[in-house]
Amino acid sequence: MLYLLDANAVIEWLRGPPHVVRFFEELTPPEDVVALNAICVAEVYSGLRQDGRLPADRLVASLPYWEIDEETAKLAGDYRYKYARKARPLTVSDTLMAAHAVTKEAILITGNTRDFPMPELRLQSLL
């Protein structure tokens, strides 16, 4: 399986609650690929204190990094447009995360499933 990490999943992984650590330990490479992207990395580092940077650096360096392409960006824009007209405004970062998971045919790992109403998006909650 392919998985894309939302920032809150990385933050929880770094905090180390047993159920989250166990979840990630049960994923087995090479069958399971757990990746991140620019949105995830930027959101994680925007909340890091200096003493949390080294563990984050190690975790980020250990995971595959997926670039966001034009197809993904367009799909994210479509999501934002569609849900705004349903009185459900979504952030650019959340629509990019959703679109990236969909275009990669990956499962998005998040602690905030309510931020991702797209029916075609496969989600894995950490809660």
The string of pLDDT tens digits covering residues 11-44 is 999 999 999 999 999 988 788 999 999 999 999 9
- 38 class by beta-carbon count within 10 Å (0-12 exposed, 13-18 middle, 19+ buried): middle
Q: Is the confidence at residue 127, as pLDDT, over 80?
A: no
Main-chain phi, psi angles of 35, to 5 degrees: -125, 170
Full residue range of the structural domain in which residue 50 is found: 2-125
> What share of the chain has pLDDT > 70, as a percent?
100
pLDDT tens-digit readout, 71-85:
999 999 999 999 999
Contact 76, 95 (CB under 8 A): yes
CATH for 76: 3.40.50.1010
With helix as H, strand as E and coil as C, how does 32-59 read?
CEEEECHHHHHHHHHCCCHHHHHHHHHH
Number of residues that this document lists for the chain:
127
Q: How many domains, the chain?
A: 1
Q: Considering the entire predicted model, what is its pTM?
A: 0.94
